[in-house]
Structure 1
Amino acid sequence: MSATHQTTSKPRKTLGSLLHLKQQDRIGWIGLGQMGYYMARNLQGHLSSRSLTMNVWNRSPAKSAKMHNHGARESKTLEDLVANSNIIFTSLANDAAVEEIYEILIDLAGQVDHSIIFVETSTIYPALATKLKERIAVMPQHTYLQCPVFGRPSVAKAAKLIWVTSGDEKAIKKLCLYFTTMSKSIIHLKTTDVARACSFKLIGNFFVVGTMELLAEGLTLAEKADVDQEHVLKFIEAFFPTPSWTEYSKKMIQGKGPSSSSSKDKSSSKGKYKEPGFSVELGLKDVGHMRQLALDTGASLPTADLAYNHLMAVKEQGKGDQDWSTMIGSLRIATPPSSARPSSEISAGLYNNSDNNNNSSNKTEDGLESRRVSEDVDSETDTRSEKTARPPAYESN
């Protein structure tokens, strides 16, 4: 994500004479992706009811223009947004985007004569949140909160997110009213350790991806055993009547191919069916963070290892932009012979079948267990397994 092209080359001159912000809250919002847009729109709806507005900035100006239609003020540059905001929310795609944007924000924050509360809502690795808080703490007039959210874009649109808070308690209490305009519940971790909120979010997302892995395996088994998946769905709705189970089950069953109602979408994308929602690429980022956190803490996440490999297989099919529930596609591939185990087994070392008792276990560079494959396993499968078994390490600058 590139933000520098929207800023001036000499921000210190741009911010040389700033208006002193009064006590009244002036909210800025950075990042209008699938989640950020709906969150910002709901917050702006609350502000509009009080005859207030907020400043918005996005890398793609078109998204900011849409928010302008809802009453928001479009900031052309980050300098302008910082100069006119004393509360700034950020909702960004990944660690690299967060680090890039905050590099600019921290520089600009050092030049203003008003205090700013930064509210970071993205899913990032704990070490990055700690790093940002420490950098902002050098300027005691400013505050950094780590407040990730749970929910898909449709949940964000309905203002039913689950909000998680960490950081300065006084600042959190001040902003709770704004949080409620975007969520159905708030979980206060009651800690100033902002890394805890990041770990909490990764644990929550692990339950989500673990559920998807379980559903993908079960629905694939039903399909291969010639059991009507619609009947399985009815069972899930009756026995596990929770939104995550029912929603992802429906997506996986419907994901076998586009329905007749989506034929127009199919033709417009040259036959490629794309489900809206949380993408495979973002899923790989989150699951990679989970696995890294497990390594850093000495925990074991074999389910995440399986899910990572299945998501990677879908990405390698050129479907990285599709909804991450399409991970089931990698399980629908014809079952290989018993002598050639799938890459998920090889990377995670989860199975110890009697046919493979002679396999010896070893450790990869990052500590994840793997097992040697018998000589008749295709070498390409072995190579791919070794690659996908390694979680992407968090790189701090």
Structure 2
Amino acid sequence: MDTTVDVRIGWIGLGEMGYGMAKNLNNLLASHGSHLTVWNRSPGKTDAIQKQGAHVASSIESLASTSNVIFTSLANDAAVENVYEQLLQVAGKNQKQIIFVETSTIHPTTATKISQLVSAFPQHRYLQCPVFGRPDRAHAGQLVWVASGDAAAIERLQPYFASMSQSTIDLKTTDVAKASSFKLLGNFFVVGSIELLAEGFALAEKIDIDKNAVLGFIETFFPTPSWIGYSQKIATGSTGKAGGFPVELGLKDVGHMRKLAADHGATLPTADLAYRNLEKLKAQGKGDQDWSSIVEVLREGPSSQ
């Protein structure tokens, strides 16, 4: 990384994923005598990273006026649209280039909309770069990064991406909707795996098979981090949202993938099933539990399906 280049990085959004990524990025910057500037809607969430040397901006406008690279990590499409409307009110007046890097899981049409808003200012660039991995992977800098947008901007920012991820999947396209579609496809495989594992563990309980034996089987025959991780959560009853992915956000993501499929004449029966189970959990007041809580619906038997 060329430390002689004036790179001033801002970060918006310090949820469980955002904080983990921002922490690692700030560590990289600190090793080169620089720092991250952050802003979060809930001010209390900036305390931890401020203690690690990051600067806290007083507002989105302040962050936008002092940064030439801005990362965003937000909960949903509405939050992304709201933040970018505010960012562009300031950035539109700045003749020097700003590279925007959006890392949230959003619908492809939202990514396209934001890209079009940014393109009204030719000096700026917009990258859609969603990430794969749970919060613990974000904290460990072991996410899988997906990149789309301007090739030169992606190349320039690779060292920063690497500080937060174990690998980067460069889709090599300026069509930012592709990265959002890719993320939804990947999340479909994740929620499909959760649905399958939850069904299997629920059956194991009903036929009185030791769940630790089932877990051992999965660790031997399907030794992948996501299968093992979700199997452990299901087997141990660890359904809390801490370090997990809440049901409410799961509904958002599964809703997006179902709409994406419908818009393109495809069907996702597994996603439909998972969506119904997630809806039941939310109706039971469990919207903040990890989405592997699907197993709780399945334990109730056919009447709940």
Mark yes or no: TM-score above 0.5: yes
1:176 correspondence with 2:158: yes
Counterpart of 1:274? 240
CA deviation profile, 1:189-239 (whole Å, cap 9, x unmatched): 000000000000000000000000000111111111111111111111111
Equivalent position to 1:47, from 15, 29, 54: 29
Counterpart of 2:48? 66
Detail structure 1 runs of 4+ shifted over 6 Å in the superposition. Answer: none
SS of aligned partner of 2:88 = helix
8 A contact 2:112–2:177 mirrored in 1 = yes
What aligned pairs does 1:216-235 form with structure 2 within 5 A after superposition?
216-235=198-217
What aligned pairs does 1:251-266 form with structure 2 within 5 A after superposition?
251-255=233-237
SS of aligned partner of 1:119 = strand
1:291 correspondence with 2:258: yes
Q: Structure 2 CA distance, aligned partners of 1:275 and 1:148?
A: 21
CA deviation profile, 1:77-96 (whole Å, cap 9, x unmatched): 11110111000000000001
SS of aligned partner of 2:10 = strand
Q: Structure 2 CA distance, aligned partners of 1:330 and 1:319?
A: 11
Percent identity among equivalent residues? 59
CA deviation profile, 1:270-303 (whole Å, cap 9, x unmatched): xxx7342110000000000000001001111000
What aligned pairs does 1:78-97 form with structure 2 within 5 A after superposition?
78-97=60-79
Paired AA for residue 160 in structure 1: Q
Counterpart of 1:151? 133
CA positional deviation for 1:117: 0.3
Q: State the TM-score, normalized to the length of structure 2.
A: 0.96
8 A contact 2:92–2:121 mirrored in 1 = yes
Aligned length: 301
Q: Structure 1 CA distance, aligned partners of 2:203 and 2:47?
A: 47
1:127 correspondence with 2:109: yes
Unpaired segments of 5 or more residues in structure 2?
none
Unpaired segments of 5 or more residues in structure 1?
1-21, 259-272, 337-341, 344-397
Q: Structure 2 CA distance, aligned partners of 1:125 and 1:117?
A: 21
Q: Structure 2 CA distance, aligned partners of 1:237 and 1:110?
A: 52
Equivalent position to 2:298, from 331, 339, 352: 331
CA positional deviation for 1:65: 2.4
Q: Structure 1 CA distance, aligned partners of 2:134 and 2:240?
A: 16
SS of aligned partner of 1:331 = helix
Counterpart of 2:281? 314
Counterpart of 1:367? none
Equivalent position to 1:34, from 10, 16, 21: 16
Q: Structure 2 CA distance, aligned partners of 1:335 and 1:138?
A: 53
CA positional deviation for 1:111: 1.5
SS of aligned partner of 2:233 = helix
Q: Structure 1 CA distance, aligned partners of 2:199 and 2:39?
A: 42
CA positional deviation for 1:334: 3.5
Q: Structure 1 CA distance, aligned partners of 2:91 and 2:154?
A: 20
Q: CA RMSD in A?
A: 1.2
Structure showing greater Rg = 1
Q: Structure 1 CA distance, aligned partners of 2:215 and 2:124?
A: 50
8 A contact 2:190–2:226 mirrored in 1 = yes
Q: Structure 1 CA distance, aligned partners of 2:119 and 2:194?
A: 39
